[in-house]
Structure 1
């Protein structure tokens, strides 16, 4: 658990959850709050990474694992250069998330699990991907026909259907 925020150590906030669970929304709100505190911070969003750094990767298991590895490596490099990092990725595999956790000093890492129900995520469906997966038009959709391994002991867990974004941000910053 991050407990050195007052010492101005850079941190990695790793936000994970199903598609449409609120990862990007929370990442942006956390980013703005950290900027207001005059911290040097960057967001690594899964959608953005897949347009550039990870554009050569597909959605099979090996490529998903490589996507997580690359994001974690970039985050580690940034932290080593005194930049706080917010990663917002589905990152469906526990082992890969643990590898990232183990590459960062314990007091500079927090896993944030966004855990609304699958039904809530489907009802949000901003990109229409759940609808396409349920109609059989696409495959490999996390939560439908591709696995998501929920974190075992995240530092923070929120049901985004029942808690506001400002409250999540305040909870994270008050306890880190």
Structure 2
């Protein structure tokens, strides 16, 4: 019996209404499959994919680049790849348990392209948001409407490098769905 390729969670940066006009999630799945991704499925309409890929996470990220460029998406739309195990560890760590339970839309998990992002900004952060580092990811309890935290969001973008963020519900659902696929 042939073994399944490794499973990855692919998170796109800079996906929104403008990019949806260029690439629907159905088109993305079809193009990913043509590029060698196995049984790609998307979760919600914000650039989240779970798919098998024969190779490393770095190879999966590299293979996704031409898929995105084929649709005319700019360099700002980038894939950040994680394993289901990495997502499970983030969910299990849950350093923002109260916020995740009571204000999941006001929580964020930042995923970075760099293997070791620079989190020096944490020492200088003086806003109302609570920030936690878990396995080279930032978990943020915005404690308010996320739109009120523009200063922190810009600082993360400027100082920590290429990233994308997902709220707690999406992160949890991706971990659950990827785990279910691994067990199937």
Instruction: Verify same fold: TM over 0.5.
Output: no
Instruction: Work out which of the two has the higher radius of gyration on C-alpha atoms and give 1 or 2.
Output: 2
Structure with the bigger percentage of strand: 2
Q: TM-score, normalised by structure 2?
A: 0.27
Greater RCO between the two (CA within 8 Å, min separation 6)? 1
